[in-house]
Structure 1
Amino acid sequence: MLAKETTTIGFIGTGVMGKSMARHLLQAGYPVIVHNRTKEKASDLVEEGAEWVDSPYEMALKANVIITIIGYPKDVEEVYLGENGLVNNASENTYLIDMTTSTPSLAKKIYEEAKKKNIYAVDAPVSGGDVGARDAKLSIMVGGDEEVYKELQSIFEILGTNIVYQGPAGSGQHTKMCNQIAIASTMIGVSEAIVYAKKAGLDPEKVLESISTGAAGSFSLSNLAPRMIKGDFEPGFYIKHFIKDMRIALKEAEEMNMETPGLSLAETLYSHLSAKGEEESGTQALFKYWD
């Protein structure tokens, strides 16, 4: 595993989840360099001891482990493969960890381009939302070379509790698609259940008390249904990003000649909400489709 005393971690993407993740690394005693498209979102981390840089290019010159958790595949491609990006400017033996939910094909491309320059790249998307990031209990799904995964394990353990090596480059992203497919249909069921409870004249909180620990139990039911009931639609995970993930999964499934009716329905419902101005809301705002 990497020695802490010779490791400087760069972190790109200090949003809803990334800020907590970078903070955990700081608190673990690592030197941390941060960059975000909106500088203000990293200001408290800088006050806590992180160093700010103005670009991925500058970060590539300073850090030997760089973590990204950013928006869309096009952003990932620019940050990693652009002329001023990480792969073209990092030193040999740098470790690149993309924790964005992106496409398996892009993860493979980054891995291959990095390898040409003796740089180690892994795709390591996460699940757990703002709560998992805050509590350092993320699920981390890793694709890439197994020996590189082992080198990075001590860093992953600062951020999550369920860390699984899935296979070669792209495997982490494929696993995240499985995660998002499972969540998509679950969110429909959770939303319908809470609306049904209200329409039946029940106390939704009491209903949750009964069903959340039984066969219906899930992360979404335990963590997002209470937010639905309270009318709290602040993002732990943005609708706009979930739609992006579902569309990646739909494309991958289509290429494998697989039908995904549950995923397709969820994408339709969430796209409807997005068109109504809810794209910046949390995924629990699916409740609004019925309510």
Structure 2
Amino acid sequence: MDKAAIRIGWIGTGVMGKSMCGHLLKHGYKLSIYTRTASKADELIQNGAEFKEPSDLAANSDVLFLMLGYPHDVEQVVLDEKTGILQHMKEGSVLIDHTTSSPGLAEKIFQAAKLRGVRSLDAPVSGGDIGARNGALVTMVGGEKEAVEQTHDILKCFSAEVQHMGAAGAGQHTKMANQIMIANTMVGTCEALIYGHKAGLDLNQMILLLSKGAAGSFSLEKLAPRMLRRDFEPGFYVEHFIKDLGIALEEARRMKLGLPGLALASQFYQALGAQGFERKGTQALLLALESFNGTQIRKYDI
């Protein structure tokens, strides 16, 4: 189908969603958007997007994206008996949820959508604000293969990789694995910075060197420099990461798994949130570990 003929709707233009929508506009797609704080959509509207209410978006979109904060937001927006968008979506359309949510909810939405002739994909992404701005997100998708193939070119507008991971819920399970790895890596990155600081090392030199070896990671290469600058503004909110780790722990308990690294990282992030840093970026974990150790690394001008 020609790009100009595909009508795309998007609900939720936050830190990442705004950039993702921008890429769709740059690729020539017709885009309608909704966000609760309308002023956050001003730039997108200036670049060609149209602002519509959720019910209108649902009724007039061939592909409808969600990028929300919490599973309860997704459930309300999609399935609410009075205001849910699913009841307005047309047969043959596709619902793509980029929210990091629960696998069980993804399966519930898939079944409800199927009854209405709508295809539903759970498609959480990884890469944070940097990946969203650069169009280099990793998108992990659960649902029917045909729906993934149908929307692949659209997803590639802001994704470096798009992978179909299996049936409904598989995208969310893959994102949980992603978050477990990130959480443990972030703890290690912060501990390494504090250790290097106490040992008298030049931390900028240290991370530039170690990122080229076996310790290299997104956290070390992209977020550690922010920590050195004492830049804790969000690429991904602490409060949303706490939510993600809670979902992962719940799924682990359901599968009768003991994941002590995940549990420890979750506790550190809970402590960070309790200190009032819920709206900071995940790299703010350094603040909790600095407090734990009674020290603070110096600020670098890099």
TM-score of the superposition, structure 2-length normalised?
0.94
Please point out which of 49, 53, 56 is paired with 2:54: 56
Q: What is the percent sequence identity of the aligned residues?
A: 49
User: Residue 135 of structure 2 aligns to a residue in which SS?
Assistant: coil
- The residue that corresponds to 1:71 in the other structure is 69
Residues 225-250 of structure 1 deviation map (CA, whole Å, 9 limit, x = unaligned): 00001000000000000000000000
- Aligned residue in 1 for 2:29: 30
Query: Does 171-180 or 5-14 show the bigger shift?
Result: 5-14
Q: Which amino acid aligns with 2:266?
A: E
Q: Could you say what the CA RMSD is over the residues aligned between the two structures, in angstroms?
A: 0.8
Q: For 1:125-164, what aligned pairs fall within 5 Å after superposition? A: 125-164=124-163
Aligned pairs for 1:173-212 (under 5 A) are 173-212=172-211
Amino acid at match of 2:223: L
Aligned residue pairs total: 289
Q: Which amino acid aligns with 2:41?
A: A
Secondary structure in 1 aligned to 2:157? helix
| Structure 1 runs, 4 residues or longer, greater than 2 Å off | none
Shift of 1:210: 1.2
* Structure 2 gap segments, 5+ residues each: 291-302
Task: Determine helix, strand or coil for the equivalent of 1:277.
Answer: coil
**Match in the other structure for 1:271:** 270
The alignment partner of 1:259 has SS state of coil
Answer yes or no: is the 8 Å Cα contact 2:208–2:221 preserved in 1.
no
**Alignment partners' CA distance in 2, 1:157 and 1:132:** 12
* Alpha-carbon offset, residue 5 of structure 1: 2.8
The Cα of 1:213 is off from its aligned counterpart by 1.1
Could you tell me which amino acid in structure 2 is paired with residue 211 of structure 1?
L
Structure 2 match to 1:245:
244
Q: Comparing 86-95 with 250-259, which one deviates more in the overlay?
A: 86-95
- CA–CA separation in structure 2 for the residues paired with 1:4 and 1:43: 23
Q: Distance in 1 between matches of 2:117 and 2:60?
A: 17
SS in 2 for 1:42: helix
